[in-house]
């Protein structure tokens, strides 16, 4: 199902929720000079068409994750998609992307502290069948982090 094009009201509702995910339909309606029923119907339409979904986003550091690692993975002997599915099963893995370039997969991993890195890389990731080579980089600072899937 292709999402319908978003009009000005749809994008305004999404922007308000991006800024304040706890905004009620009444709050949104008041800001946009429409009824709460209109907001409710629009939200339902946006969710049903998969143009938008409301989710909770956790803060890495608030949950004790102080290390963010980007892993480049070369795959050998299995499909990148199968290896990626296996790697995605680890709770520390935040995202898995099938790549075109130097690596077959790229992972974003969150760990609590430096003492976990060696165990996670060598005992968990490298132990997955098909993982042939790893290249890791540790984030030293986060310049920008937005959970927004697509800019409006």
Same domain, 21 and 65: no
Structure confidence by residue, pLDDT tens digits, 59-101: 777 788 888 999 999 999 999 999 999 999 999 999 999 999 9
Q: 33 is in which domain, residue-wise? A: 8-48
Structure confidence by residue, pLDDT tens digits, 90-125: 999 999 999 999 999 999 999 999 999 999 999 999
Same domain, 66 and 127: yes
Q: How many domains does the chain have?
A: 2
Residue 37 carries which DSSP code?
A: H
Structure confidence at residue 45 as a pLDDT band (50, 70, 90): very high
Q: Residue 67 domain-assigned?
A: yes
Q: Residue 1 domain-assigned?
A: no
Q: Residue 22 domain-assigned?
A: yes
| Nearest of 88, 101, 7 to residue 51 by alpha carbon | 7
User: Which pair of structure tokens corresponds to residue 133?
Assistant: 């080579």
Structure confidence by residue, pLDDT tens digits, 46-62: 999 888 887 777 777 77
This prediction has a pTM of 0.67
Cβ partners under 8 Å of residue 152, min gap 6: 6, 11, 14, 15
Q: Residue 38 domain-assigned?
A: yes
pLDDT above 70 covers a percentage of the chain that reads 93
Structure confidence at residue 144 as a pLDDT band (50, 70, 90): confident
pLDDT of residue 149: 59
């Amino acid at each position: 199902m292709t999402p319908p094009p978003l009009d000005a009201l749809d994008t305004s509702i999404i922007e308000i929720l991006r800024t304040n995910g706890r905004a009620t339909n009444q709050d949104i309606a008041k800001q946009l000079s429409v009824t709460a029923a209109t907001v409710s119907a629009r939200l339902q339409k946006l969710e049903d068409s998969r143009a938008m979904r409301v989710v909770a986003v956790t803060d890495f550091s608030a949950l004790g994750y102080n290390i963010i690692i980007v892993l480049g993975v070369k795959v050998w002997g299995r499909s990148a998609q199968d290896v990626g599915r296996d790697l995605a099963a680890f709770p520390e893995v935040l995202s898995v992307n099938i790549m075109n370039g130097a690596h077959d997969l790229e992972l974003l991993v969150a760990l609590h502290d430096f003492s976990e890195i060696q165990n996670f890389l060598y005992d968990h990731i490298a132990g997955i069948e098909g993982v042939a080579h790893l290249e890791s980089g540790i984030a030293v600072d986060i310049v920008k982090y937005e959970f927004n899937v697509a800019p409006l």
